[in-house]
Structure formats: C-alpha cells, structure tokens
Structure 1
C-alpha cells in the first residue's frame, strides 16, 4: 500500500507530464477475466445479502429485547404503584380509626357535660319552686318584677330552643358515628367473592390435569424404555446366533435381508414413540406455562379490582370526613354565637340589677327623710296636745306603707344574684333561667 502511494505521489506525476498518453495506453493494455469478475460479483452480492439478513435479524432481536425490557419496567412500575396504593389505603384506614376515636372521646365529653347541665337544671328548678312558693304568699309583686319575670321566661324559651338544636346536632353526630362504625365492621368482616373461589377451583382442576398428564407421560416414557431394552436384547441375541452354513448363499442373503428390514422398521418405530413422548412433554410444558400465565393475569385483574374498591372506599371516607368536619365547624360557630348571646344577656341582667339597686337606694333615702319628718311631727304633736293625734296616726300609716313597699322591692334582690352570677359548674349561666319555664 505504501509502495502504491509512493508510486502515485512521486513517479506517476512525472510520467504523466512527459507522456500524457501513458495512462490511456496502460489502461487499454489491461485485460480481465469476465467469469472471474462475475463470480466475485456473485460472492459479493451473497455476502452483502447475508450481512443484510444478519442485520435484519439483529434489529429484530434488539427490538424484541427492547420491548421485553419495556414490559419488565412497566410491570415493575405497576407493582410499585400497587404497593403504594396498598400502603395509602392502610394509612387512610389508620387515620379513619383515629378520627373515630377522637369523635367518640368528644361524644363522651358532651355526654358528661349534658349530665352536669341536667343536674344544674334540677337544682335551678328546685330553687325556682322555692321562690314560687314564697311568691304565692299574700304579698303581691309589683309591675317591674313581673316584667322582669316575663323577660326571663322569654330568655328561657330561647335558651331551650338553642339547647334543642344542640341536642339535634349531637343526635346527628351520634348517628354518623354509628354508621361509620358499622361500615368499618362490614369492611373487616367481608369475605372473598365468588370469583376468587371459582379461580381456586379452576386452579385445582388444572393441577389435577397436570398431574394426570405427567403420570401418562412417565408411563409412556417407561414403556418406550422397556421396548428399547427388549429390542436391544433381541438384537444382541440374534447377533450371537451363528448362521446356518447348510443353506445356500442365495437363500441366506434373501432371508438375512428381511430381518434387517424388520429391525430397521422396529428401530424407526421406537424412535417415533420416543419423539411422540417428547412431543407430549413439550405440550405439557406449554400447557403449564399457559396456566401460569392465566393465573398471573387473574391475579393482576383481582389486584386492579381490589385497588378500585379501596379507592372508592377511600373517596367515600374522605367525603364523610369532610361532612363531619363541616358539621363540627357549624357546631363550633353555633356555640360561639350562643356564648356571645349569653354574655349580652348577662350584661343586660347586671344593668337591670344596678338600676334596681339605685331605685332601692332612692326609696331608702325617702324613708329616712319621712322618718325624720315623723320625728319632727311627733315632737310637735307632743307640744300641740291630743287634738292632733289623728294626723300622727296617718303619718305612721304612711310610714308602714313605705316600709312594705321597701320590703317588696328588696324581695327580688336575692333572686337576681343567683340568676346573674351562676355557679362555676353551669356552662354559660344556663342554670340561671332554664328552670323558670315551669312557673
């Protein structure tokens, strides 16, 4: 190769410059064998065709390998996604159990609070009964006390209505908790469906057929081995027997050709039986692989169905959880409204109490001034004599009337502190007016 390059680079240009027709004459002098060229061309085309076939086969194998890898990756992704969904379902169940426990605990607290409220209501009812018995005495109440009682009764009716609404919402929450508990119990006690049982029966039947086929194949293989052993024994015995020398050579050749053909026929039949046994084994193997494929497909289908069920169940649980959360928020909002209203009512009651105390103080001042006037009149009467004793008696009657009025005004004052300053056990002062409904 280096010599050719040197020739074309150094010697050839000088020759072309000196003799331009040198290359043309040299090319005309070259002779080639057409048969050899055609043979080389055929070999080249055959070589290219083989290379092309090998490239096609290589591409096909690469594509199959790539598809198989994609299939494996897809199956791995599906298995990982199924595992993630299963874990998510377990987490959702755990969260649901925790929420149920919290709701039960809140329900127990509400029950305890309801019991305490009922006890306070009974105490308030007894206290109001005592006050009612005290009010049925001959002394009558004035108009302001009656107005106060009517307003307290109206407030009591409003509080009763709010309490009924709270009990209704609590009843709804209890019913919702019971439904969730029944749903959890039903999910725990669910049994596998009929499709799983049918698949199990089908798998048992396939296993039985496989066992029968294996047994028949083994028996056939044993029979073929026995026949081969018998045939080989027969051939060895026949070869050991000496030929009869008395028979003519022509007859001996004809008689020896027939057993040889029979031996070849028997050998071919044995090979055919062996091939049939191998074919049955291969078919059995194909059937096993198809069965395994069907079982795996059924497992994948069942897993997808279970995943769909778990997904629907998780959606239902999430929706129920949202509903419960909204109900809890509504209850909290109602509770805050009720607390604000009760605070306003307490402030109004305190204002009324202050007004009543002011009125009582004014009446006391009037009584003290009248007592002073009475003393003055008594001293003046002692000076004037017995003629003016009737005027003193009138003033004493007025004093007794004023004292009676003072007693009537002071009578509601011990009731108001019990209504306006509830005990610490009563929530938001409900016991201050709930028992007045029976008056």
Structure 2
C-alpha cells in the first residue's frame, strides 16, 4: 500500500510539473493551434482507453461530446476538464491497486469490470483515505487549476464574459465537492439523453420537459436546442454559403440595428467584430429565405443568443425552425397580426387572474403593448439578464410561447402591489429599471412562480377565435371605411369640378348681364329717340289734320265764292297741287317711320337671338344706316324748304301784283286775307319743321362724328397696346441676349479656371505619386528588415522549443523507468494491473507532450 501511495505521489508531482509547463507554454502559443490539438485529443484517447479497458463506451461518448463542446469554447476550459479527468483516472487506478494489494486473490476480470464505472465514480477518494502529503498535493493542484482559470492572459477568462454564465465545469476548491458531483451527474444524464434522444423524446417527454425547466447545462445547450427544434439535419444548411453571396434589400437596416443588439456584450459591442459579422450574415441569409418577413429588429436578439451557443450555420438552421414552427414568423410579419393576438390573450389573462391590476392599467391608459410587446418579440432577452433569459429560452424551445404568458403573468403577480401605487410614468420606470434586476439572485424563483400560474390551452384557443372574429369585423369595417373614403374623395373631386364650372358660369352670367345692361342702355336711348320721332310725327299729323280741315273750309268757302276771278282759281289749283305733294311727302315720311319701327323691332329680335358682341355691332351699323337715312330725309326737307321759299317768293310777287286789283267787294278781301293768313301759317310751319329737322340732322352728324372719333381712338389705343407689347417683347429679347452673353462670359471664365485647376491638380498628383513611391520604397525596406528579424527570431524559438521538448522527454522517461522499477517490486498478481495503469497514465502524459 505504501508503494502505491508513493507511486501516486510521483504521478501527481509529474502532473504538477506538466501543469506548470503548460501554464508557461500557453502564453507563447496561439489559440487556434491549441484548439486543434485539444480537438485531436479525444480520438487518440478513445483508442488507447478502449484497448486498456479503462472506460466504457458510454462514458467515452460523453467525454467525446464534452471535448468537442469545450473545443468550441476556449482552451482553458478544455485544459481544466482534461486535467480533472486525468486526476480522477489516476486516483481511481491507485484505488484499484490498493484494493488488489489488500485482496491478492482477486481476478483480473474484477479489475476490468471495476474500471467500467460511470464518470462520477472516477472522482478522487475521500480525504480520509489519503495521506496528508497527498491531500496537500491535491490542494496545490486545485489551486494551480484555479489560477489558470482566473489568469487574465488565458483564454478561459475571455470565454467567461461571452458565456455570461456563472457556472464552471469543475469545482474551484475541495469544499465544493457536492456541487461538483451534482454537475457531473447532470452532465452524465444529459449525455445519455443526447445519445438516446429519439427514444427519450418519445417515451419520456415529460421527464425531458422537467429537466429543461431545471436548466440545460451550458455545454449541452447548443446540441439540445437543435434536438428540441429538430434542426440538426436541415437541407437549408447547405444553401447558407450561397445565400451569403447574394444581396438582400434589408442589408442597410440590418447594419443599422446590429450596433444596438447586445451593445454591452463583449462578443457584439465592438464595431465590425466577429460577433457583428456573423450576426449580419445570419440575418441577411434569413431575409433572403423569407422575403415576406425580411428583417425585424427584435429577431436580432434571438439570433445573437443562438450565436453565443453555436456556430452561425447551426444558428441559422435553428432560427429558421423557430420562425416556422414556434409562431415567430407570424409575430415578425409586417402586419404583426400574431403579436396583436398575443396581446389580446395576455390582456384577458390579466383581466381574469389580476382584475385589480387590470382596472388600474385601464384607468391609467397603460396598454399591454407598452410593456409586453418586447416580451413576446424577444422572449425576455431585452428584459432580463442573459442567465435568466437563457433559462426562459430553454423552456421556450421545449414548450413554445406558453412560457412567455406564464412568466409575464408571474412577473405581474409579484409586482402587483407596487404597480397599483404608481401612475403610468412610474409603471414604465418600474418595468424598465426594477423588474429586470428583480431575479438576479437566481431564476428558479421566477420559473417556479410561472408554473403556479393557471394556463388553460382550450381557453386560449377560444380567445384566439374571438380575436379572429373581432379582427374580421374590423377588417370589414376598414374595407367599408376605405370604400366610403374613396367615394367621399370622388364626391369632393366632383364638388370641386362643379364649383369650378359654377364659377365659370357665374363669370359668364355676370359678363352677359353687363353686356345686356349695356345693350339695354343703348336700346333705351334708341327707344327715346323713337318716342321723340313718334311725338314729332303725331304733332305733324295733328297739324296736317288741322291743315286739311282748314283746306276743307277753304274749299267750302271756295264753293261759296265760285264767282272769284280766274287768277284765284289758278292759284287754288296750284295750292291743291302743293297740298298733294305735301301729303305725298307726309305719306313717304309715315312709310319711312313705319319702316324704321319695323327695323327697330327686327333689330331687337336679332339682338335677343344673336350673341352679345355681334348684336351691339349690328345695332351700331343699323343705327348708322338709320342716321344716314335721316340725313337723306333732311336733305329732302331742305329741298322742300327751298320749294317753300320759292312759293313764298311767288306769293310775295303775287301779293304785289294783286294789291291794287282786290279792292272791289269786302267779301273778296276777306277771302284773300284768309288765304294770305293760311299761306303764312303754312310757310311758318314749313320753316319750323325745316329748322327742327336741320337741328336733328346736325345732332346726328355730331353723334356720328363722335362715334367715328371713338372708333379712331379705340383703334389708336389698340395700336398703342400692340406697340407696347412689341416693345416689351423686344426688351425681353434684348435682356435674354444680354443674359446669354453674360452666361457665355461666365462659362468662358469657368473653363479657364477649370483648366488652371486641372493643371494644378495634375502637378499635385505627380507630387503625390513621387511621395507615394518614396513611402513605398521605405516601407519595402522596413518589411525586408522585419522579414530578416522574423527569420532570426523563428530560428531562435525553434531551437528553444526543441530543447524544451527534449528535457520533458527525458523527465518522462525517468518517471517511466522509476514506475517500472516500482511495479517490479510489487507481488506477481498485480503485474497486469501495473501494466494497465502504466499504459493509461503514461500515454496520457505522452499525448500532452505530443500535442505541445
């Protein structure tokens, strides 16, 4: 037994030395090289361990999976878990050796069967079975492992910030051994579930859900999520590289929102970092696959969480599955109809379970979408810290959106008392600042409270039907409103058209009324002139009748005086002839008056029938024609007056001749006097009429002259207007020519300036080229110097590494030789056991050496 403990001490010392060497060597090696080495390790390990029968196949599968999972993390986690496994293996081997020494009669079969225990059985022996030196050695080994994990230069510390999880794979001290056993048990259980997923999913679905609610281990989360959503073998994964080569219309929106996705997380906070690039790639690829949804801002948080757990191809497949099978696609559609349904269902749950809070929300106009929309769109990723949100997302992957309703209602139940005392702004502040950090101590309290909430799937289906009915009615009302708005718009357009037509008709009506007023005024003037002419005609007829009566009386008197002289008879005959002529002229005047009246009536009819302007023109023309006829009538009157004058002269000569003769009887003298008076009255009447017509003729001539002058003035004004238009046109043309001349001068000046600038630019480019050539030559010289220095440094590093490896090989050979000597001193039944332990432990050490 003492020999076995000494051997154990030697092995642990060698492991400590190796650990220190690896710790120093990590500072010199790159991340990618070491990850390649660690990824290579499980395959070789399996071949040796299965030959030596140290582990079963199930245990190896768990280790292989853990190795591949840890390889996706960082090097420090791999190193820590691997060293822990080596420690456990060595401890277990030493325990077997001790038991063999205690019972030498045990067979080799018992030894090999004891080595097939599960991974938790490989833990070190209890402190009571080890010496104080062994315990001190184990404490030093654990302390060195802890220093390696907390080293700022190691990759383990960088990886810790990305995972945002406070858990570790191995316990930090010997005092946390119970937690280590629980974690190892959980890992073994999840490893078996992953290996036998199909059978476990079909037969033990409830147990799997219970395990998911308790939390999925960090390193199993990626593969379990893929298994839960059946995304491990999707054909769209092969199209991912082709999708990245295509161009998406949503690229600008994605680029804009990437910086706002997890801005405080190390993996995403730096601009153009690896995290932002892979997030952009996944969002772009999905926007090309589902062009209806394209890109929505909340989806970037889900993709970011997936990228924290798995590579971008697997994250893309899982995201596609989530959108298709977990109702997220309906949530992220442009219409967001599914989000409205979730808000309606959640509001009904609040009304049922928390009626006082529901009434308070309604009184404060605090709508459900103001605080709960982000819960459904991001699955609480923007509400709670990542450890809590990840636990909720585990359950979401297993049970769907039900967990969002449960967690949301549980949060409201826990904060009901505080919310009832706040107004709307206070509630918003409470949701933004208090609730996110309310469960930082642990998510188990929130998960337990959420599963105490009563969730009725049938009632949710009923609420979905009610919401669909309400939305259908709203859509019908919107269609009706849209139709009414269209009709209203068409009616408004029709009203505007009618208003324009009405305004046009009103303008035309006003213009017509103005024109008709002018024509009425002109007609009134014509009617006044016609009334004056009629009055004069009536007066003339009256005087003519009086003259006729007088003539009749004279004829009667003439009949009485048949005894008058022959000269008197001739004179009477002459007077009768003149009377006939006067009647003829009166009949002609009367006919002319009737013609004028007829023409005036005809003109009025034409005026009412013809357009306004033509009526006025024709009336003016007819008025001028009437005036010309009146002028002709005046000429006839002048001629008549001349005849009257001639008659008067004849009468005067007649009086002169008959003065001495008519002295015989008094009765003859009386007749002669009457005749004289009659002739005098007639002559005065003819003279008065002649003067009146001459005055009218003058007035008509003056009006005609006035009209002619008005026409001349109008034509002159029109000619002046035309000349002014021509002057304006010529001045505008002159201005245009001056502007063209100035523009030509300006262009010529610009061309000259551009030519000068181009000459200066060419000279500057030549100077820049000369300077760039000089800089490139200098840079080439510096690169050549760096190249020579790199070659020299590489040769030095290679020589140091070779020397260091040779020293390690020598030390391991000495340890190997000493171990063989110790085994030879032991009893014969334990030879095979020594060989097995020697092969397993030394091969592990050689693998580390070979890897470095």
TM-score norm. by structure 1 comes to 0.36
Q: Which fold has the larger relative contact order, with Cα–Cα distance below 8 Å and residues 6 or more apart in sequence?
A: 1
